[in-house]
Structure 1
Amino acid sequence: MKYLFFLTSILCSFLAINGKAQTINKEIDNCIVKVQKQYNIPGLALAVIRNGEVIHKKNYGLANIEMAVPVTDKTLFPLFSTTKVMSVIAVYQLIEQSKLSLDNNISDFLDDLPNSWRKVQIKNLLTHSSGLPDIVNYTNDKEEDAKQKVYGDTLKFIAGKQFDYNQTNFWLLNRIFQKVVGKKLSEYIIEVQFPSSLKSVIFEGNNLKVIENLSYGYVNTVNSNQFLKRNWNFPEYEYGAAALNMTLNSFIEWNKKFDNNEFISEKTKTQLLTPFNYEIKRDFTYGLDLIKLNDDISYGFSGGVSTAFRKFTNKNLTIILLANGMFIPTDKLNGINEVVNDIAIIAAKK
C-alpha cells in the first residue's frame, strides 16, 4: 500500500511539473506571436534555459520570405553585435593564459598608433570607454585606408571617462590577436569555441551573400508588410565586432560550455561581470551589457536590433533570441530588451 502511495505521489508530481511546463511554453508562444505581429518580424528562433535545462526551444515563422522557407534547426542567423559576446570571452581566454591583461596598454602590442591612443588599455576596449573615433565611419574603405582615416580623427574623450559604443575597439582587438596568437580574432573564436560546428557557425559579413541556410536580415516597418533585405556589409577587418552567423542549437551548446566553465573559470567570470567604474556613470560590466529593467538585472549583449543573449543570474535563466527582423522601438514599443524581459518573467514562474 505504501509503495502504491509512493508511485502515485511521483506520478502526481510529474503531471504537475509537466502541466506547468506546458503552461509556460504556451504563454511564451503567445508572447512570441504577439511580438512578431507588433514588430513585424518574419522569423525567429528562441531558447529559454533555466537551471541549465532547456525549458523552451522553438522556431517561428519564415527564414526566407521570397521562397516561403520556414525557420528550422538548420537556419543560420546573423548575430550582428551579439558576436561581441564570443569576442569578449576570447579576450578573457588570453588573459587566463597570461598572454595579455586588462591593464595592458594597446601600444604594448601595436606600434603604429597615434600618440594620443597609446595609453588606451585592453579594459577600455572591452568596456567601450576608449574614447577613440569610430572606424565604422569608413566601413566601405579597405583596411589600410580606413586605418589612416580613423588615426587622423580627433579623440572623443580621455579613456575611462564614459561609455561610447565603438567598433574601433574590436578592430584593435582583432589586430592584437594577430600579434599575440598569430590568428585573426574570428579564426580564434571558430577554432577554440566552436571546433566541431561545421556549417552551423560561420563568419561572413556580407548579408547579401548566398549561403546555404542563411536567413537574411530584413528591414521591416512596424505596422507595414513591406520588407527590404538588410544589405549591411562588415569587412573582414571588423570581424569580431560583428559578422558571426549561427544556428540556435550551436548557441545553446556554446552557452552550456560557458555555464560549465569550459571557456573561462568562475573567477574570471566574476571579473567579467563586475560593473566598470566610468566617471560618467553607465551600467556596463568589463565586457557585457548590464541591463536593469523592471527591477531585473541581466547580463549579455544584443545585435542589429534583432538578436539577444541575456543571462538573468538571480533567476538562473538564459535567453537566446535570434530574429531576421528588427525590434525597432517606437513610442508604444520598447524594443528587444523589453521583449527578452517579458519572456524572462514568464519563464521564471514557479
Structure 2
Amino acid sequence: MHKTSDINVVETRPLPSPAQLLAELPKTESQADFITRSRDEINRLIFTSDRRFLLVIGPCSIHDVEAGRDYARRLAKLSAEVSDRVMIVMRVYFEKPRTTVGWKGLVMDPHLDGSHDIAAGLRLGRAFLQEVLDLGLPTATEFLDPITPQYIADLVCWGAIGARTTESQTHRQLASGLSAPIGFKNGTDGGLQVAVNAIKAASQPQTFLGVSIDGAASAIVTKGNRNCHIVLRGGSGGPNYSADHIAKTEAALAKGGLPPSIMVDASHDNSAKKPELQPEVIRALLAQIAAGNTSIMGAMVESNLEAGNQAFPQPKENLRYGVSITDGCIGWDTTETMVREIHAALAPHFA
C-alpha cells in the first residue's frame, strides 16, 4: 500500500500537556490576583472614560532572558513613576510571524540554534512571564500558534493578533476564547475592515478544533470575548495615525456597532520601519489628545536596552547585549524620555 500521510514529516516530538507544564510552573495566588486586576484595569482604559494612557512597550521579541530581565526591572521602576497617568504593559513576545523564513521566536527556538526545542521554549517563556509579573508589570504578547495559549495565556494580561493573522478565522476563533483583552491589528495593506470584522467575530460564541488542557484534540466551545479593540499599525500605503485616519477609524468602528476605542502601533508602517521615528508618532497622538480626541486610548512601542537591531542568524557569542534580533527598537534612554514626555503631556487631563 502506498503511504499517503506524513510523507514530508521527518519527526514528531511529544510535548508535555498544558496541564503538566502548568503543574510544573504554577502561577502563584499573588500572580493570579495581579493578572486579574491588570486585565480589569486595561479594560477600563480601553472601554471607559478613564483618561490614563495604555502603553504596551518592550522588545520586539525576547531572545535573551537575562537582557529581558534587565529591561523589565528598569521598566517596572519607570512604570511606578508614571502610573497615575500612564499604565505600562510590557511586551513579552515569544512568537514571530515570518514572511518567508527566519527565527520564529523563543518558544519555537529557545537556543537560537535551529534545534527547535519547543518544550524548553514553553518552559522558558512561562517562567519569564512569571518573573515579569512578580516585578509588578502586566504582560502582553502576540498569539500566533493556536496551541501555545494553552501553555501561557493564563499569565498574559493583554494580547495581540497581528496584521498577518487578523483575517484568519483560526485566530478570530482563538481570540473568542481568550480571557485577556485582545487588540486586532489592521491588515498589512492598511485596511480597517478586516480588523472590524475580526473584533465582531471574536465577540461571538465560536466552536473550533483545539487542544484541551490535558493535551487531547477537542472541540473548543467559547462564549465570545467582548474585550477586543483595534490597533492601527499602518500599511503598504503608509502611516494611518493622522487625525484624518483616526476619524476614518472611528467611523468604521461606529458603522460596525463597536465603541470608538483605538490603539496605535508606533512601529511598523506607522514609522516607516524606522524605530527612531516612534517617538514622533507618539507626539502626534498626544497632540490629537490635547486637541480633544477621546478615542485614542493607547499605543504600542518597540523598545529595548539598546537602539536598533542586529543581524541573525550569527554565532550567539557575537550577539550584542540588549539589541533586538528581530525588528529595530528605540534604546532605553529614548524610552525613558518618551515615557516621561507622555506623562507630562497628559497632566492637563488630570488637573
- The TM-score normalised by the length of structure 2 is 0.27
User: Higher Cα Rg: structure 1 or 2?
Assistant: 1
* Structure possessing the higher relative contact order (Cα contacts under 8 Å, 6 or more residues apart): 1
